[in-house]
Amino acid sequence: MTQSTVKLGLVQLSCTANAEENLEKTIQQIRLAAEQGAQIICTQELFQTLYFCQTEAYEPFSLAESIPGKNTDRLATLAKELGVVIVASLFEKRAQGLYHNTAAVLDADGTYLGKYRKMHIPDDPGFYEKFYFTPGDLGFKVFETKFAKIGVLICWDQWYPEAARLTALQGAQILFYPTAIGWSVTENDAATRTAQHQAWATIQKSHAIANGVFVAAVNRIGQEDDLKFWGQSFVANPFGVELAKASVEQAETLIVECDLSQIDFYRQHWPFLRDRRIEAFSPIAHRFID
């Protein structure tokens, strides 16, 4: 059963090569977030590991795990103990030779509600994810948690309005985006870095506006090889107003209160869902219209 007001916790951390250390650090921050009243707590993308996709190598496959499995069981126990919802971004081993970039959702009573597999997989310098991850095949999903109806999309999904729209159309009130994004320390000048960050924030705020939902983006910090992650996790309301933003370099857990009852207000004043011309949208299913 959802409620009017919900507090979000966004866990922004740096990572090391020690997966257990990263897990313990994240669990500690989840506990602190719960102490501050957070009810839905989201990790950054692939929070247990370094962002290994900067290169193509076989060793990182050993880091993958079953979902549900040992670590989701551990987080489910934590969720039940604290009475919070946990959104955990993990490296999933589905079968031998078949892997996904996946987020698991654990309800406040410890129930495993299901998972979302990242649909859009990048393949760019420093982000060689197609080497590791099979595109998701579960579609866009909504999870009805104790505190709100939430959708989870992952990093590169951030740039696709179709993903946000299809999730919102299923009733999501909050879109969570676990993320690992940053600047190249060898290639990008200051102006390019500023433009990249602004584009990242703008596209996600546009999803909030176009769909009348809250958006929560959770990014990592720190430098790993040639990538310096830019942090700045944030929550935006359905008018795209930034309610809170984390720092560029500091490990922190952002606590943000969202009044879900305001979704009606925003959608009444900007009735984008009402005015959609759905009968004219079928061409969107084409790769390109010649």
pLDDT tens-digit readout, 250-267 = 999 999 999 999 999 999
Does the pLDDT value for residue 146 go beyond 90?
yes
Question: What is the phi/psi pair of residue 131, to 5°?
Answer: -65, -30
Rounded CA-CA distance 179/105 in Å is 16
Does the pLDDT value for residue 101 go beyond 60?
yes
Other CB atoms within 10 A of residue 49 CB: 22
Whole-number mean pLDDT of the chain?
Answer: 96
pLDDT tens-digit readout, 152-171 = 999 999 999 999 999 999 99
Does the pLDDT value for residue 1 go beyond 70?
no
Q: Residue 259 falls within a domain, yes or no?
A: yes
The total number of structural domains in the chain stands at 1
| Catalytic pick among 7, 115, 118, 146 | 118
| Catalytic pick among 7, 15, 25, 45 | 45
Q: Residue 215 falls within a domain, yes or no?
A: yes
Domain CATH for 95: 3.60.110.10
* pLDDT computed for residue 264 by the predictor: 96
pLDDT tens-digit readout, 116-143 = 999 999 999 999 999 999 999 999 999 9
pLDDT tens-digit readout, 56-76 = 999 999 999 999 999 999 999
Q: Residue 119 falls within a domain, yes or no?
A: yes
The yes-or-no answer on residue 118 being catalytic is yes
The yes-or-no answer on residue 155 being catalytic is yes
The residues, any chain, with a CB within 8 Å of residue 22's CB and separated by 6 or more, are 13, 15, 16, 47, 48, 49
Does the pLDDT value for residue 29 go beyond 60?
yes
Q: What is the 3-state secondary structure (H, E, C) of 13-57?
A: CCCCCCHHHHHHHHHHHHHHHHHCCCCEEECCCCCCCCCHHHCCC
The parent domain of residue 53 ranges over: 5-285
* pLDDT computed for residue 187 by the predictor: 81
| Catalytic pick among 15, 42, 53, 155 | 155
* pLDDT computed for residue 188 by the predictor: 75
SS3 141: coil
* pLDDT computed for residue 115 by the predictor: 98
Q: Using N-to-C axis directions, what is the helix angle for 190-211 and 161-168, rounded to 10°?
A: 30
Does the pLDDT value for residue 219 go beyond 90?
yes
Q: Residue 290 falls within a domain, yes or no?
A: no
Predicted confidence band at 2 (pLDDT cuts at 50, 70, 90)?
low
